[in-house]
Amino acid sequence: MSCIFCRIVGGEIPAEVVASDLENVAFLDVQPLADGHVLVVPRAHVAAIEDLEPAAADALFRMVQRLAGPVRQALDAAGTTIGINNGGATGQTVPHVHVHIIPRWPDDGAGSVHTIFPRHTTRRLPDVATAIRRAAAA
């Protein structure tokens, strides 16, 4: 088993586990972007969110929702940024689905999700919406 998160899920390597259930394990990121940076991973090895079984996706988001409040409270944070790097092109370095929960404070120097993007678009909204509706209906 070479996947680092599978090895954490399997108990082969240590991690600061903060919660677990039948479908997921949540543990501290070993290189935290802020105190309280948590990763929630499904027990099943799946690289991309779209490849998760529907029940596993439900359970994953339920765990994220369950932990958002405790992470905020434990770190006395004002909010949390919650995100997924989904695919190598996005900066995903571990090819096992994981949701980052990162506590945030006023003036912590970090930006919103919007700050990731240079806002480069070329296509009209109606055309984009039509393309996505078609793909989602297929």
- Cite the active site residues: 98
| Shortest reach from residue 17's CB to ligand AMP, in Å | 10
Q: Which one, 7 or 72, has the nearer CB to Zn ion?
A: 7
Residue 72 Cα distances to 56, 86, 87, 104, 132, angstroms: 24, 24, 27, 8, 34
The nearest distance, CB 36 to ligand AMP, in angstroms, is 13
Shortest distance in whole angstroms from residue 138 CB to ligand AMP: 28
Piece in contact with Zn ion (CB under 5 A), picked from 3-11, 53-61, 67-75, 79-87 = 3-11
Interface mask (CB under 5 A) for Zn ion, residues 88-127, using x and -?
A: --------x-------------------------------
Among 1, 2, 31, 109, binds ligand AMP (CB under 6 A): 31
Contact present, 64 and 92 (Cβ < 8 Å): no
Site membership for Zn ion, residue 27 (CB under 5 A):
no
Is the CB of 38 or the CB of 97 nearer to Zn ion?
A: 97
CA distance 47 to 77: 30
- Asked whether 3 and 13 are in contact (CB, 8 A), the reply is no
Question: In terms of Cα–Cα distance, which of 126, 59, 66 is closest to 101?
Answer: 66
Closest CA to 78 of 112, 106, 107, 53: 106
The partner in contact with residue 91, picked from ligand AMP, Zn ion, none with C-beta cut-offs of 5 to 8 angstroms by kind, is ligand AMP
Given a contact cutoff of 8 angstroms between Cβ atoms, the answer to whether 102 and 68 are in contact is no
